[in-house]
Chain A
Amino acid sequence: MIEAIHLDKYFGDFAAVSDVTFTVGEGEVLVLLGPNGAGKTTTVRMLAGILRPTRGRAVIAGRDVAEDPIAVREMVGLLTELPGLYDRMTALDYLRFFGALQGLSPARQQERSEQLLRRLDIWEARRLRLGEYSKGMRQKIALARALLHEPPVLLLDEPTSAMDPGSARLVREEIGALKQAGRTLFICTHNLSEAEFLADRIAIIRGGKVIVLDTAQRLRRQLLGAPLMELRLRGSLDGILPALQEMVQVTEHGPTWLRYLAPEPETLNPRLLQRLGALGAEVVTLSEVTQGLEEVYLRIVSAGTEALSETASLLQRRGETLP
């Protein structure tokens, strides 16, 4: 549904985006992570048919963004980084205006506006001027604007920024529903837990280049190594530990617990549990010690240029990234 092929964007001699390549399938959610100025917004603007790529091409639902930008803008719903609302308009007037620009009939404008305002829980405030709205409400209106014409592709730049937890959850649920409905979503965010929650795949961009692109789970494994498991027993480890150390690489342990690396948890953990059973040990819990996406992200974006290119080349040698 979204195809970016060696996208470059130069402003004068400054390369804002450089050789970015990825695809997003129908009903898939790709989250783009990156620090400020990494090229996220420029990428979104190119995909939305607002900016022309300097080199390379981007295709949205079969339409080239440079050759057919109007058709692309009809098929894309864009939530901009800043809501940018007309403060003197009411929510209903605002949505009707954008509905008309998208070519919706007056009846459909009214119907969709009402639907979205109710779904996003701002129907009661529909007659207030947008200048009176809170930050979270403004963000919801901007999201409603992007969804108004039911586009098959949604480009969301920081969809839950400035929202209170309740509203953020509402929006995340809305995004989940859109995914279920088969919409293709491309989301830029700084919120790592949100990225992990929403994304089918995650791309990390830095200095205009996509450094890594994969599922959150695989990214963690690639960059942080084998998953770390924690085992807790009802009794003492005494007498059992040497036998376990023959099977796994124990990183640390206490009187009743231990942590070990599990390169292949799917095969290793059942074998380990069998062995424990045979040894007569009673298992209380066996769980993965979560090493968050934050660790992966920080490792990539805070790496120096050399370290970064080392990381990227290492991953590319292992054939584990797509860019």
Chain B
Amino acid sequence: MSQVQRALLVARRELRDSLSDWRIIAPVALLTFLFPWVVMYSTQFGIGYAERYDSDLVLSRLIPFATMVVGFFPVSFSLVIALESFVGEKERNTLESLLSTPITDGALYVGKLLAALTLPLLGSLLAIAIFCLGLPRVTGQHVPLDLLGQMVVLTLTLTLGMVAGAVVVSSTTTSVRAANLLSSFIVMPAMLMVSFQTFVILMEGRAALWCIAAAQALADLGLIRMGVRLFNREELLSRTIDRIDLRRTWRTFWAYIREEPEAVLTRRPSARLTIGRLYRRDIPQVLRRTGGAMVLVVIVLLGAFLLGVVYGQALPLPASAREAMVTSPAQLREAAGQVPSLLWGMHVRPWTIFVSNTRNLALFVLGGLISFGAAAVIPLFATVGVIGFVVGGGFLQGMDAGVLAALLWPHGILELPAALIATAAGLRVGASILAPPRGFSLGDTLLHGLAQFCKVFILLVVPLLLVAAFVEFYLTPQVLLWVVGG
């Protein structure tokens, strides 16, 4: 028997189990067969109301919104079914007997995923179909085919994300109660996505819905990859109780600081902790492991820069702002000469620049921990985008390339690598939970990533940012003056 057949066997059994439980069937049936009619008559009421004003304007928003709502409600049950299927089985002690059969972890995961997806997704698609077929009768309006396609894709990607997220939650908990408590980490992003879709529909940006679907699909892939790594026999059977153990957390974190990064992963002993070892061995190891993330960050930053340039040229600054821009050498000389005193007047000191840069990078890396590392890229993406915008707009105003280089490079030559390293390391930490190393739990993976990030951040990024802040304050204005001949 192949693993695909085993996966289907598991899916069929679980589906039969769900179908025999009225607590699941009753609400899904109500939301599938009754709710579309409620929405249809609500839409009819909405259309009647809209006709008094500007019916086209309202209709173009109301029908997509109603279709989305009809599709979303039945899939909300996928979360309950998935939690029940994954962590419920663990709690009822039925999982071990399943794990003792020749089914692989992957096949078991797929079988359970299929079982959790099938019923809510069928319900949702059926509800959308009822809505699409009934709407012309009730209101005389039709759901356009392209909108229907969009809604189906959005529903599919959202459901998959919720179920894949439920697997991740289930794999790290031991009871349905604990999983329910943690499920807000799935419900809240899902609600945010639905709210965002609503906003896009109201703004009539239907094309952007495809981008949302693509983003959801990417997140799904990430969650599925993470779930496949976490849903394994070792992880499922080694966890027996959910409790906070701060002492153990700290001990583990400190052990990861004390050991060389690669020694931890290969479970080999490492040399004694010294500052010399950290610079000679630990930081090069971390930078090597961050290589892929660094390439990705550079590509993203190039994209941000180009996007900034394009927008800078496409959206010229208003006349008042253009007049305020300093482009002539005389203006620049005057402005550059004023920089230190201006900054002193604004209570800006090298220390302020340093603290601001360090804090922003550190905070966004922390945000990256709950966004697969995406948040870690935001500050640098925004900064480089703004630079691109200024460059794009500046060249339109006849800005000199040498002046621009003088404005950016003296401190940028230190600040940019520091930010690049911190961003890439942050991205690596956040993304590491997508594929924890073998034998590492989710928590241990995060702690290991954080420990390595701390080494690089404290020993490499912080000193670079400190020197860059002083250069920015004292040297950059002088270089600018020298360039413009002041």
The chain A residues found within 8 Å of chain B, CB to CB, are: 11-12, 45, 48-52, 70-71, 73-74, 76, 78, 80, 82-89, 97-98, 100-103, 142, 145
Contacts and interface: CB of A to CB of B under 8 A. Distances in A.
Contacts of A12: 248, 252, 444
Interface string B141-172: 00000000000000000000000000000000
A84 B233 contact: no
B100 A84 contact: no
Given A11-B238, A51-B234, A97-B9, A86 B100 contact: no
Contacts of B238: 11, 51
Contacts of A48: 100
Contacts, number: 72
Contact of A103 (B1, B13, B252, B444): B1
Contacts of A51: 233-234, 237-238
A70 B107 CA distance: 12
A101 B97 CA distance: 11
B232 to A, nearest CB: 10
Given A70-B104, A80-B100, 16 more contacts: A12-B252, A45-B96, A51-B238, A76-B100, A80-B97, A83-B93, A84-B92, A84-B93, A84-B94, A84-B97, A86-B13, A88-B20, A98-B101, A100-B9, A101-B98, A101-B101
Interface string B5-34: 010011001000100110000000000000
A86 to B, nearest CB: 6
A50 B237 contact: yes
A88 B17 contact: yes
B20 A50 contact: no
B96 A100 contact: no
A86 B17 contact: yes
7 tightest Cβ-Cβ pairs between the two chains A and B: A84-B93, A78-B100, A103-B1, A84-B94, A101-B101, A82-B93, A73-B102
Contacts of B80: none
Contacts of A142: 97
Given A97-B9, A101-B6, A103-B1, A74 B102 contact: yes
Q: Is the interface of B mostly helix, strand, loop or mixed?
A: helix
Q: How large is the interface on B (under 10, 10 to 19, 20 to 34, 35 or more residues)?
A: 20 to 34
A84 B96 contact: yes
B114 to A, nearest CB: 16
Contacts of A45: 96, 237
Contacts of A103: 1, 102
B15 to A, nearest CB: 12
B460 interface: no
Contacts of A74: 102
B99 interface: yes
B103 interface: yes
Contacts of B248: 12
B233 A86 contact: no
B102 A50 contact: no
20 contacts: A12-B252, A45-B237, A50-B96, A51-B234, A70-B102, A71-B102, A73-B101, A76-B100, A82-B96, A83-B93, A84-B92, A84-B95, A84-B97, A98-B97, A98-B101, A101-B9, A101-B103, A102-B101, A103-B102, A145-B97
A73 B94 contact: no
Contacts of A71: 102
A86 B94 contact: yes
Nearest to B94: A84
Nearest to A77: B100
A45 B154 CA distance: 42
A80 B233 CA distance: 15
